[in-house]
Structures are given as structure tokens and as C-alpha cells.
Amino acid sequence: RWFAGGQTNLCHNAVDRHLATRGDQNALIFVSTETNIEKAYSFKELHAEVQRMAAILKDLGVKKGDRVLIYMPMIAEACFAMLACVRIGAIHSVVFGGFASHALASRIEDATPTLIISADAGMRGGKVVPYKHLLDEAIRLSSHKPANVLMVNRGLADLHPVEGRDQDYATLRQANMDTVVPCEWVDSTHPSYILYTSGTTGKPKGVQRDTAGYAVALAASMKHIYMGNPGETYFSTSDIGWVVGHSYIIYGPLIGGMATIMYEGLPIRPDAGIWWQLVEKYKVSVMFSAPTAARVLKKQDPSYLTKYDLSSLKALFLAGEPLDVPTATWIGGALNKPIIDNYWQTETGWPIMAICNGVEQAPTKFGSPGKAVYGFDVQLIDETTGEEITEANKKGVIAVNGPLPPGCLQTVWGDDKRYVSTYWSSIHNKVMYSTFDWGVKDEDGYFFILGRTDDVINVAGHRLGTREIEESISSHSNVAEVAVVGVADQLKGQVAVAFAVLKDPSVASTEADAQKLEAVIMKVVDDQLGAVARPARIRFVTVLPKTRSGKLLRRAIQAVCEGRDAGDLTTMEDPAALQQIKDSVTH
């Protein structure tokens, strides 16, 4: 608990607080290269829109402490919705628009929202991605049914309105043009939001964030890590469905009195200069993206990076997945700007490791996200003995000594036991927060991240649980068993690859039949979890490598897929199983 006994409001700090000093300055800049809409909202205009949205929420019966699930594309209304929730003390839970009905249903079931806010569709690469049928299916699958669904109609796809449940945002907004909705003061420790993230089990965990600790952590990080000043513009290319979107598209920049850009579109459409064109146009001073985006740009004509005036830009921050040295070197050189890697998690809400140039200038070492950030007592722990590793360059589990600093998760929504057992009891004999990442520290105190200790994979900076993907694939009637592993990929960092044992293998006996079945199973994953979770390949085998006690040897499968030595296999039940995997990937 941080700042217990205090009262505050996140929306007040992000919006209202700035009205007197910078009411007419840009607060939110919405840019969609998909619909060719670009619109800037000043703090005053944002204040008005958020109050309209808050009035609608109240009209629809949303009260302090109620959950509101937001399943929306990257549009300004999504920002209004998040801020409107915290304004009235409601707890939002944003679900990434790339997730499909089953993934959405499990989150509805867990968060039990009073209201869901959604839109007819998103757009990606010029294609309409309809949302509404996925939402309807998710509500059908969930045992919890929200009383109302508020729909933003962009005129892109059919709405299929459900009588008595679905409400039209434009109509209700019109009725509330001038409604005043004051901020509801909440306890410092009042939950501001729940954000689901993947872990070891198939069931996603609802990371619960507080209010005051989060506001303080973000405000401080703006100054000490990102070096963003009030009146400047922040551009984070993430999505509001992920933690980077929460902290550094919406709350961090706005709390810091900065304008924030919400971008719907690809980094290479209409051409690979689009982001830098926006940097020039809006005088962006801080930019935040993921290493995969940098690798995508690396494949394009490099002249796009020097075509625009980037003099306002202080640095490009990259996070979410390992930043490889060649990519960091390339983009740093091409932009002629500092590249700052930073390491953190949905759970922490802001960086655990970074170079804090706003505190003390320090050189960057490519390949390392820097040193432990103030507030995090980071230690490397030997997995088998539970002892701290003090020797340089020796691998251990990255752990944090409690208490976690302000801004980090309070608990797992509705499951304190799971919070304690997952995060604070996983390292041998230690009551320490586990990041579930491996790391090493060099002689100068710089950390290097070596991948997850659990079954989480990282595809293009998107955190996915292999167990969730396995559960989805297993729902196909012909799948007896399946193992999903993350395999190193040049562009995306990792991709998911599945190995499935079929009940009736004759269905996939020819190459053509196997391909057909692979496509069918991929469609199952698309429909249930979303294309974001779709494996790059599904290969069919007759047996999976397991220990004699029946545990799947995922690490060995992964090693074989990456052409590495599979390690100690003395406990393996049937060595031929691994040979099959080997044959299927070299084939």
C-alpha cells in the first residue's frame, strides 16, 4: 500500500490539473492512417469529452468500484473511456483489440463488468477488423453478462444491435454535451484498473493497479527516465490493450502535462516515413516503441529516417522484448539519436531497469536495458539454492526484494492467494518478487535479460502464454495432445510453434492433408484467441517428448527447434519423440 490514507483521482491528475496552466495546449492527438482521420484535442476539449463519457457511464448505472471492460481499437473514444472510468472511480479493464472471443470471454468472466465499451471495428493495413461479432460471441460464452454495451459506431462494420442491451455512444454523447461530472475522490489504494496478462497457467491473471502509487511512479518516470517536460509531445507506438499503452500512451504523458499521440496504423503505411513525419509535425520530444518495430523499419529504405526534421526528438525508448545489438546500433545511427532500452512488465507498470538520464547521466550499453531503476531492489537469485548471485556474469532469476515501489501491482484481481503463490513464493526459500526472467549482471552493474523462466513467450513484443495457445489447439476434436514453444525469429524475436499429436493421424497422412488441417487448427486459434496468438507452424507428430513422470519437455523441444543442444535428457521417457521433433523441423 502506498500513500495509505490519502485521497486522489487519476483523471484529475491527467486532465483537470492542467486546465488552468495549459488548457488550450494539445493533450490528445489522434492519428489514424487507416481512416485518414487526424484530430487534436486540447486539455479543455479532452476534459469536455471525458465528462460526456463519464456522464454516459453514470446514466448506464456504473458506480464507483464497478468494472468497465473496454474492447476498442486505437481511437480517441478509448482514451475518453479510460479516463471517464477513473474519473468516477470505476475500474477499467482494457482488452487488446487483437484478442478474439474466448480470450475476451475469460476476461469478462473474471472482471464481471457492469458495462462493456466497444466499437464496430478496428482497421489494420487497410482492412476492416470487425469487433462486434467477437464481442457478442464472448458475452454468449461468459456466464457473466454485462447489463449494457456501449457501442462507438465508426461506420466501418455491421453493429448487429442487441435490443435493450446495446447503446449508441453518439446519441448518448449528444444528450450529455454540457453535463458536468466532477472527479470522484478515491483512496490512494483504490484500484484504478485491471489488466490481464499471461502466465504459466492457461487462465490469464488480472494485474490490479492502485491509484496514487501509480500516478506518482508515472510522474517521476516522466522526469527521471523519459525526460519529458510539460508542453512537449510524447509518441508511444504501442496499443492501449498493453501496459505500455496504459502507462505511456494515456496516463504518463497526460499526468506529465504532455500531449500524447494515439496512432492507429502500421509503421510502414502509407510509407516507412510516417512515424518520423509525425515527429516533425507535432515536434515529438520523446518516442517509445518496441524492438520489432525497429526491425521492421530496418527492412525499409533507410532514407525515410532522415527525410524529416527530427530536431525536437531527444531519444527513442524501446521496450517489451530483447533489443538486439545490430538493431539498436542500426536505428541509433540512422536516426542519430540516443536509443534507450528499458525493461519492465505489466505487473510493475513502469521500468525496473533503464538508464535514468534524468537522475544521473550514464552511458548506454547495447544489449543491456541498463541498471536497476530507483525503487527496485533487484537481485539475481540462484534458482536451486535461493542464494543471491554476486559474481559478475552469472545467470540467475531476476527478483526484487519487497516492498515493490509505487506503481506496481497490488494483487491479482480477486485472488490474493494466487498473487502470493505466483509472485512471492516461486523462488526457493525466498519471499521475493519473481519477474520470471533470467538475467546476468556485468562488472559495471548493467543487466542483460536472457528470457523467461516460465512458459510465457514474447512475439513481436506481445506477451503470450503458451498454455493458453495449447488449450485452444486442444479444443479441436482431432487433437489428442499438443506442446507450444517459442522459437527464435529474426523479425519478431520469437514465434509460437506447435507440435500436435492427433487422435486420428490418417487425416494428415499426406503433405497436402497436413497443410489443410494446419490451416483449420490455425483458424480455431484465430477465432478463439485472435490472430496475435496464432502459431507460425503447427506440426504433427505421433508422440511428444516427456519425462518418465509425464511432464512435457518444452525446453528440450525449444532447444531442438532452435538448433541447440537439448541438454540433459536422462529423464526422458522416449528419446525417439525428440528425434521426431528434430525431423519435423529440419524437414
Could you give the CA distance from residue 41 to residue 324 in angstroms, rounded to a whole number?
A: 37
CB of 247 to ligand PRX, least distance (A): 8
Which among 476, 456, 464 is positioned nearest to 533, based on CA atoms? 464
Of residues 346 through 375, those in contact with ligand PRX by CB under 6 A are 346, 369
Distances (CA, A) of 7 to 68, 190, 527: 22, 9, 43
Q: What is the DSSP letter of 217?
A: H
CB of 322 to ligand PRX, least distance (A): 4
CB of 423 to ligand PRX, least distance (A): 12
Of residues 409 through 428, those in contact with ligand PRX by CB under 6 A are none
> Between residues 81 and 243, which has the closer beta carbon with respect to ligand PRX?
243
> Between residues 169 and 423, which has the closer beta carbon with respect to ligand PRX?
423
73 binds ligand PRX (CB under 6 A): no
| Burial readout 473-494 (b: 16 or more C-beta within 10 A, e: otherwise) | bbebebbebbbbbbbebeebbb
439 binds ligand PRX (CB under 6 A): no
Contact 264, 73 (CB under 8 A): yes
**Stretch touching ligand PRX by CB under 6 A, among 16-24, 117-125, 336-344, 568-576:** 336-344
> Between residues 71 and 242, which has the closer beta carbon with respect to ligand PRX?
242
58 binds ligand PRX (CB under 6 A): no
* Cell numbers that stand for 172 in this block: 448518448
**Residues sharing a CB contact under 8 Å with residue 565, sequence separation 6 or more, in sequence order:** 559
With CB atoms as reference, the residue minimizing the distance to ligand PRX is 346
Measured in degrees and rounded to the nearest 5, phi and psi for residue 258 equal -100, 160
> Between residues 292 and 345, which has the closer beta carbon with respect to ligand PRX?
345
Of residues 191 through 220, those in contact with ligand PRX by CB under 6 A are 197
> Between residues 41 and 248, which has the closer beta carbon with respect to ligand PRX?
248
339 binds ligand PRX (CB under 6 A): no
| Long-range contacts (CB closer than 8 Å, 24 or more residues apart) made by 511-519 | 514/540, 517/478
Could you give the CA distance from residue 411 to residue 401 in angstroms, rounded to a whole number?
A: 16
**Stretch touching ligand PRX by CB under 6 A, among 68-76, 86-94, 238-246, 277-285:** 238-246
Beta strand extents in 314-461 (DSSP E only)? 315-319, 339-342, 353-354, 371-372, 377-381, 396-401, 411-412, 433-441, 447-452, 456-459
Could you give the CA distance from residue 142 to residue 77 in angstroms, rounded to a whole number?
A: 25
> Between residues 397 and 449, which has the closer beta carbon with respect to ligand PRX?
449
Contact 543, 483 (CB under 8 A): no
Residue type, 238: S
395 binds ligand PRX (CB under 6 A): no
Could you give the CA distance from residue 194 to residue 409 in angstroms, rounded to a whole number?
A: 9
CB of 435 to ligand PRX, least distance (A): 6
> Between residues 197 and 580, which has the closer beta carbon with respect to ligand PRX?
197
Query: Would you state the torsion angle of the CA atoms of residues 13, 14, 18, 23, taken in this order, to the nearest 10 degrees?
Result: -150
CB of 118 to ligand PRX, least distance (A): 22
Of residues 458 through 517, those in contact with ligand PRX by CB under 6 A are 458, 463
> Between residues 250 and 319, which has the closer beta carbon with respect to ligand PRX?
319
* Cell numbers that stand for 478 in this block: 482431432
321 binds ligand PRX (CB under 6 A): yes
Could you give the CA distance from residue 119 to residue 73 in angstroms, rounded to a whole number?
A: 7
**Stretch touching ligand PRX by CB under 6 A, among 70-78, 342-350, 520-528, 556-564:** 342-350
> Between residues 211 and 458, which has the closer beta carbon with respect to ligand PRX?
458
449 binds ligand PRX (CB under 6 A): yes
Could you give the CA distance from residue 398 to residue 454 in angstroms, rounded to a whole number?
A: 13
CB of 367 to ligand PRX, least distance (A): 9
Could you give the CA distance from residue 491 to residue 292 in angstroms, rounded to a whole number?
A: 6
CB of 212 to ligand PRX, least distance (A): 21
Could you give the CA distance from residue 56 to residue 555 in angstroms, rounded to a whole number?
A: 50
Position among 93, 118, 237, 435 found at the interface with ligand PRX (CB under 6 A): 435
CB of 190 to ligand PRX, least distance (A): 23
**Stretch touching ligand PRX by CB under 6 A, among 67-75, 142-150, 314-322, 512-520:** 314-322
Q: List strands edge to edge, sheet with 479-489.
A: 479-489, 493-502, 537-541
> Between residues 503 and 555, which has the closer beta carbon with respect to ligand PRX?
555
108 binds ligand PRX (CB under 6 A): no
Size of residue set near ligand PRX by CB under 6 A: 21
345 binds ligand PRX (CB under 6 A): yes
243 binds ligand PRX (CB under 6 A): yes
342 binds ligand PRX (CB under 6 A): yes
CA 86 from centre of chain: 20
Q: What is the DSSP letter of 553?
A: -
Position among 43, 99, 304, 344 found at the interface with ligand PRX (CB under 6 A): 344
Residues contributing to the site for ligand PRX (CB under 6 A): 197, 242-244, 319-322, 341-346, 369, 435, 437, 449, 452, 458, 463
